[in-house]
């Protein structure tokens, strides 16, 4: 069976520069619940997307201690999202899109040249994110945007959605600066459904834009850690995940089609 090879990036810290907006919004929500603000360093130990993933255990600590599934409670989620949207609008965050990670367009081109299909995995909505990418001229590089409708906020589910949709052997390189995505990828390191194989190779991107700091990313046990997008493809080739640059990559492109 032919193999589909893809590079899945998470939206908020490998494509967008989002972490400082997260810090502002979180620190305006926390005092409303009589909780202390988080320093930027503290935030990067717990930050996740969307907001309710990491704020619910803080805002509703006693309830979370009794039932960790509270992060999936739709009433709790709506409450936190309502605060986040109101604060974002007041700051113009939903009017003025964030900048993109330096070098992301070149990295997308390199992935395509290496025979990899570019994908986005996000737990937020597709419409706004896609419009932002269109405005910056990079949407043409993406074959698929897997968003909230496909994941319902569960990161493993987003990868499974793609696997089921393609209905073929799938090799995934998952690039993220968020520890929960890396753990989700590791949970799916190898799976088999209806005779098709899924494999996931996790890569942590530790930069100033990452949701989590390097220590937190390392604790998630990625297969590879890089500190800039420039390191991605040389390190993947060094690790044997991609063939040496040249003819072998053109061969890989034919299997990804």
The full set of domain ranges for the chain reads 3-16+98-256, 19-91
Each residue's pLDDT expressed in tens, for the chain with a length of 257 residues:
678 899 999 988 999 899 999 999 999 999 999 999 999 999 999 999 888 889 999 999 999 999 999 988 989 989 999 999 999 999 988 777 778 999 999 999 999 999 999 998 887 765 556 677 777 778 888 888 877 666 655 677 778 777 777 777 889 999 999 999 999 999 886 766 567 788 999 999 999 999 999 999 999 999 999 999 999 999 999 999 998 875 444 444 444 44
pLDDT for 254 equals 41
Give the architecture-level CATH label for domain 3-16+98-256: 3-Layer(aba) Sandwich (3.40)
Question: Do 151 and 157 form a contact (C-beta atoms < 8 A)?
Answer: yes
Provide the pLDDT for residue 135.
73
Nearest to 142, CA basis, from 169, 163, 164, 121: 121
pLDDT of residue 161: 73
Q: What is the model's pLDDT at position 53?
A: 85
Q: What is the pTM of this model?
A: 0.88
């Amino acid at each position: 069976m032919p193999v589909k090879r893809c590079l899945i990036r998470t939206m908020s810290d490998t494509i967008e520069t989002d972490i400082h907006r997260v810090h502002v919004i979180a620190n305006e929500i926390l005092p409303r619940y009589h909780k202390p603000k988080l320093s930027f360093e503290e935030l990067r130990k717990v930050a996740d997307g969307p907001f309710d993933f990491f704020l619910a255990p803080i805002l509703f600590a006693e309830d979370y201690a009794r039932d960790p599934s509270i992060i999936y409670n739709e009433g709790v989620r709506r409450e936190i999202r309502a605060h986040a949207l109101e604060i974002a609008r007041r700051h113009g965050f939903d009017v003025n899109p964030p900048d993109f990670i330096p070098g992301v367009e070149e990295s997308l081109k390199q992935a395509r040249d290496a025979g990899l299909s570019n994908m986005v995995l996000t737990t937020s909505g597709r419409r706004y994110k896609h419009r932002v990418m269109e405005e910056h001229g990079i949407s043409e590089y993406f074959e698929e945007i897997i968003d909230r409708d496909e994941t319902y906020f569960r990161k493993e589910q987003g990868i499974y959605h793609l696997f089921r949709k393609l209905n073929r052997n799938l090799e995934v390189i998952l690039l993220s600066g968020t520890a929960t995505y890396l753990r989700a990828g590791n949970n799916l390191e190898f799976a088999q459904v209806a005779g098709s194989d899924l494999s996931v190779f996790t890569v942590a991107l530790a930069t100033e834009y990452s949701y989590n700091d390097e220590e937190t990313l390392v604790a998630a046990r990625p297969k590879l850690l890089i500190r800039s997008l420039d390191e991605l493809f040389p390190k993947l080739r060094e690790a044997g995940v991609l063939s040496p640059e040249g003819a072998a990559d053109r061969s890989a492109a034919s299997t990804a089609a």
